[in-house]
Structure 1
Amino acid sequence: MSLLDFSSDAFIVAFFLYCFGFLFYGVAALGKKWSKRSPEEHIRRWGPIAYIVSVLGFLAHLAFFFTRWAGGGHIPTSNMYEFMSFLAMAIMAAFLIVNAIYRKPLLGLFALPLVVIIVAYAAVFPQEVQPLIPALQSYWLKIHVTTAASGEAFFAVGFAAGLMYLLRTVDFARTDVKSRREQRWVEFTLYVIIVIIAFISTVFAFRGAGYEASFKQETVSIDASGVENSSVNSVEYSLPPIFKPYNSQVVSIDSFLGMDQPLFETPHWMKGVDAARKLNTITWSIINGSILYGILRLLLRRRIGAAIHPLMDGIDEDDIDEISYRAIAIGYPIFTLGALIFAMIWAYIAWSRFWGWDPKEVWALITWLYYTAYLHLRLSRGWHGSKSAWLAVIGFVVVMFTLIGVNLVLVGLHSYAGV
């Protein structure tokens, strides 16, 4: 067996161990309602088991990382599959560190699903080892990417703790205006998470079924001298085309639920890279996410947040608030080094300038400014509790857009990361 084959197997093992770790954390949280033991005793029994399984998953993830590095010849952080895999591993490391400090096992009930989702999302992308393009052939790849991702990993733990705080403190039984607004936003956050899960499940389902659709798209452009140029490109879909590319014709399309032709054409003003395919994927994710959310609501017979809220009984909300803040406080200087200082040094070496207005650079700065404001409000204005928790949740949304939205939606010097 080659190192790369072993690496792929270790990746799968890590994924399933993370899933089992999450299940054991779920037993620690849920089982207390059906067990004759006290909640504290139940958590003391199942919490260590969940922690050990999670650590084993982390060790398997480390094995994946280093064997892929050895087999591929360069650090595996150069494309979306490798980077998101590393980010998931970094989040797991951050969780283990924070959990070792604060001894709050139920934090794993929120941190582990985040790791599982990111690992599954990474697996959506091509997994072959790709040669480094010239811009990435630098030792700064190791320094910049790993430190930036490590900072973001602690932001992720802060997000998990912040979401825990909101689910612990928002009263889903109250009907006043403020409470209903908080309930809606917590529920919307959970809905977005479900849509992401639906996106991953949809991609894997159609990929497993071997679904394919192909289009020929004619693109017309006018150069600086006014000469009109046209080209014909092939666009491949792995999901049934609700939206086909603008100004395109069907080459081949597999039938799905009687749908033999696209339903709509992508608007002409959507000119981003693979805009039609991305719009189609987003549409499928929202449709299937809404269906999944509706099924869960029917099974639970209430809002998902209201169903999770009782599981938070017995958790000290001040401790969770402190964990969220401390995780972000740890991640902030690491992110500052990796995403700003080291990034500017590498930018000067690669492009002879410290700063440009590339979309990834702009959003990295926005992320840094956001968390700077978070720490300022927390320390100077005394924004504790729900205000701080909401900032932690929104902040990680900004992080994920910087990582995913910029790479896959916008076009810039960092677009290679989405390959």
Structure 2
Amino acid sequence: MNALLNFSSDVFLVAFFLYCLGFISYGMTIAGARLTKRDPEKHIRKWGRISYVISLLGLISHATSFITRWIGGGHIPTSNMYEFMSFFAMMIMLAFVVTFAIYRKHLIGLFTLPLTVIIVAYAMVFPQEVQPLIPALQSPWLKIHVTTVALGEAFLAVGFAVALLQLLRIVDFREKGPRARRSQRWVEVLMVIAVIMVGYLISVFGFRAAGYEATFLQENVHISNAGVESTETDTVVYKLPPIFKPYNSHVQEMDSFLGLKDGLFETPHWMKGVDAARKWNTIVWSIIIGLILYALIRVIIRKPIGAVIHPLTRGMDPDDLDEISYRIIAIGYPIFTLGGLVFAMIWAYLAWSRFWGWDPKEVWALITWLYYTAYLHLRLSRGWHGEKSAWLAVIGFIVVMFTLVGVNLVLVGLHSYAGVDN
């Protein structure tokens, strides 16, 4: 079984590099079409086909990794954050393949592939060992609930990618009016967030490659139902220099970095999610490195990133993009409704003898569903199309990602099954 799990990990890395190669190839497809002096359409067809095949090979490798890990681990690999996020990335690629098969728009790949790469890299941060299922997860509903949630959210992710492409198409950075400048600033904010995500990857894998480690002893006070107070000491290991150290802790051992001998600040006590201190420290590092990287990019290109990407989108019809984004989200919405609400409540009743318990993940799943319900209502009943609809789709995916990631940082609930290794 260990050999099968090792093979699964190796194939997963192959999928990651194929996704990266597919993203580069899509970039060459779009950029080359603008630079070539021959037939641009022929160039797009040729290189777009190559890019799609590379992406499809990545998906096949990813699916092979998923199946072999399932066989080797003895249960469907969606039970912790590493497994779920890697499965979520695979579902995004599946949703992209379906979208491309319908609409044949190569530029969608240029925006979907980097999203997949970031989510795969994020999954790699978490412990990758196969873990035994806790009692609440030992149910056939694990397969039904988690797979439908991931598939629904995957279509919402592709809808987000198309909506972002739509915004970059319709927001012209050459215009000077107040409304145009406001749209330009908000689009550039999205570009900054994208660069910060890259900064996250650089910070995590950079310090991991350097072998950095810091260990803290954290005292946690517990009060029983009878009012008896007890104190436990936990060991918290950081893989990034501690800008924010754990709440109520002191250093046990720390590698040297820029003379840092202790955390600069203490993590707020109200951050009670699983490994909240380490996650918050990682977020701060990601923002710092991301902003530095963004500043370097701006110095090199000497204009907003959105202004550089905008010319690449001129061959796309914004109305087509608007319709594609809406239709893809319309596919994801009912799937998410089934997985995130209906199947989730059935499983909750079987596992905890109640349909609803106001667990943080349950609440945010409901918020996500209500948000996309409002999106569809505003589009169908109020005629929100174009830029308004695109912004709703973009913000909606931010809500999705907070439900998947942010809730574990700030809050504690029954759905907190995995820590993070940084």
Instruction: Establish whether residue 289 from structure 1 lines up as the match of residue 290 from structure 2.
Output: yes
User: How much has 1:268 moved relative to structure 2?
Assistant: 4.3
SS of structure 2 residue aligned to 1:157: helix
Contact residue 407 and residue 417 of structure 1 kept, 8 A: no
SS of structure 2 residue aligned to 1:108: helix
Q: 1:125 to 1:269 in 2, by over 3 A?
A: closer
Specify the alignment match of 1:252 in structure 2: 253
Q: Tell me, in whole angstroms, the C-alpha distance in 1 between the residues paired with 2:224 and 2:134.
A: 28
Contact residue 92 and residue 115 of structure 1 kept, 8 A: yes
Q: Tell me, in whole angstroms, the C-alpha distance in 2 between the residues paired with 1:347 and 1:182.
A: 43
User: How much has 1:221 moved relative to structure 2?
Assistant: 4.3
The range that moved more, 235-244 or 32-41, is: 32-41
Q: Tell me, in whole angstroms, the C-alpha distance in 2 between the residues paired with 1:365 and 1:195.
A: 28
User: How much has 1:242 moved relative to structure 2?
Assistant: 1.3
Residue type at the aligned position of 2:406:
G
Q: Tell me, in whole angstroms, the C-alpha distance in 1 between the residues paired with 2:223 and 2:3.
A: 50
Contact residue 220 and residue 228 of structure 1 kept, 8 A: yes
Residue type at the aligned position of 2:401:
M
User: How much has 1:254 moved relative to structure 2?
Assistant: 0.4
Contact residue 124 and residue 200 of structure 1 kept, 8 A: no
User: How much has 1:288 moved relative to structure 2?
Assistant: 0.4
Specify the alignment match of 1:274 in structure 2: 275
Specify the alignment match of 1:358 in structure 2: 359
Q: Tell me, in whole angstroms, the C-alpha distance in 2 between the residues paired with 1:229 and 1:418.
A: 24
Q: Tell me, in whole angstroms, the C-alpha distance in 2 between the residues paired with 1:161 and 1:272.
A: 32
SS of structure 1 residue aligned to 2:237: strand
SS of structure 2 residue aligned to 1:219: strand
Q: Deviations over 1:247-277 (max 9, x none)?
A: 3221111011232332223344544443332
User: How much has 1:206 moved relative to structure 2?
Assistant: 1.0
Q: Deviations over 1:72-97 (max 9, x none)?
A: 10001001111011111100010010
Q: 1:273 to 1:149 in 2, by over 3 A?
A: closer
Residue type at the aligned position of 1:34:
L
User: How much has 1:282 moved relative to structure 2?
Assistant: 1.6
The range that moved more, 226-235 or 402-411, is: 226-235
SS of structure 1 residue aligned to 2:231: strand
Q: Tell me, in whole angstroms, the C-alpha distance in 2 between the residues paired with 1:364 and 1:265.
A: 30
Specify the alignment match of 1:44 in structure 2: 45
Q: Tell me, in whole angstroms, the C-alpha distance in 2 between the residues paired with 1:276 and 1:82.
A: 22
Q: Tell me, in whole angstroms, the C-alpha distance in 1 between the residues paired with 2:248 and 2:339.
A: 42
SS of structure 1 residue aligned to 2:417: helix
Residue type at the aligned position of 2:211:
G
Specify the alignment match of 1:319 in structure 2: 320
Contact residue 280 and residue 409 of structure 2 kept, 8 A: no
Q: Tell me, in whole angstroms, the C-alpha distance in 1 between the residues paired with 2:418 and 2:219.
A: 26
Instruction: Establish whether residue 304 from structure 1 lines up as the match of residue 305 from structure 2.
Output: yes
| Paired-residue identity, % | 70
Q: Tell me, in whole angstroms, the C-alpha distance in 2 between the residues paired with 1:104 and 1:226.
A: 62
Q: Tell me, in whole angstroms, the C-alpha distance in 1 between the residues paired with 2:367 and 2:305.
A: 31
Specify the alignment match of 1:102 in structure 2: 103
Structure 2 counterparts to residues 128-167 of structure 1, below 5 A:
128-167=129-168
Q: 1:268 to 1:124 in 2, by over 3 A?
A: closer
SS of structure 1 residue aligned to 2:164: helix
Contact residue 18 and residue 57 of structure 2 kept, 8 A: yes
Contact residue 408 and residue 418 of structure 1 kept, 8 A: no
SS of structure 2 residue aligned to 1:416: coil
Specify the alignment match of 1:190 in structure 2: 191
User: How much has 1:201 moved relative to structure 2?
Assistant: 2.0
User: How much has 1:205 moved relative to structure 2?
Assistant: 1.2
Residue type at the aligned position of 2:235:
S
SS of structure 1 residue aligned to 2:128: coil
SS of structure 2 residue aligned to 1:2: helix
The range that moved more, 212-221 or 148-157, is: 212-221
Q: Tell me, in whole angstroms, the C-alpha distance in 1 between the residues paired with 2:120 and 2:280.
A: 23
Specify the alignment match of 2:88 in structure 1: 87
TM-score by length of 2: 0.96
Q: Tell me, in whole angstroms, the C-alpha distance in 1 between the residues paired with 2:379 and 2:81.
A: 33
Q: Tell me, in whole angstroms, the C-alpha distance in 1 between the residues paired with 2:78 and 2:148.
A: 12
Q: Deviations over 1:143-172 (max 9, x none)?
A: 000011100000001000000000000011
Q: Tell me, in whole angstroms, the C-alpha distance in 2 between the residues paired with 1:68 and 1:281.
A: 28
User: How much has 1:34 moved relative to structure 2?
Assistant: 2.2
Unaligned regions of 5+ residues in structure 2, if any? none
Residue type at the aligned position of 2:241:
P
The range that moved more, 224-233 or 405-414, is: 224-233
Q: Tell me, in whole angstroms, the C-alpha distance in 2 between the residues paired with 1:275 and 1:130.
A: 21
Contact residue 275 and residue 419 of structure 2 kept, 8 A: no
Specify the alignment match of 1:173 in structure 2: 174
Q: Tell me, in whole angstroms, the C-alpha distance in 1 between the residues paired with 2:15 and 2:69.
A: 14
Contact residue 408 and residue 415 of structure 1 kept, 8 A: no
Q: Tell me, in whole angstroms, the C-alpha distance in 1 between the residues paired with 2:360 and 2:282.
A: 22
Specify the alignment match of 1:341 in structure 2: 342
SS of structure 2 residue aligned to 1:14: helix
Residue type at the aligned position of 1:344:
M
SS of structure 1 residue aligned to 2:220: strand
Residue type at the aligned position of 2:314:
D
Q: Tell me, in whole angstroms, the C-alpha distance in 2 between the residues paired with 1:84 and 1:299.
A: 33
User: How much has 1:328 moved relative to structure 2?
Assistant: 0.3
Residue type at the aligned position of 1:121:
Y
SS of structure 1 residue aligned to 2:236: strand
SS of structure 2 residue aligned to 1:372: helix
Q: Deviations over 1:288-322 (max 9, x none)?
A: 01011111111111101111111111111111111
Instruction: Establish whether residue 264 from structure 1 lines up as the match of residue 278 from structure 2.
Output: no
Q: 1:250 to 1:91 in 2, by over 3 A?
A: same
Contact residue 26 and residue 109 of structure 2 kept, 8 A: yes
User: How much has 1:32 moved relative to structure 2?
Assistant: 2.0
Q: Tell me, in whole angstroms, the C-alpha distance in 2 between the residues paired with 1:357 and 1:225.
A: 24
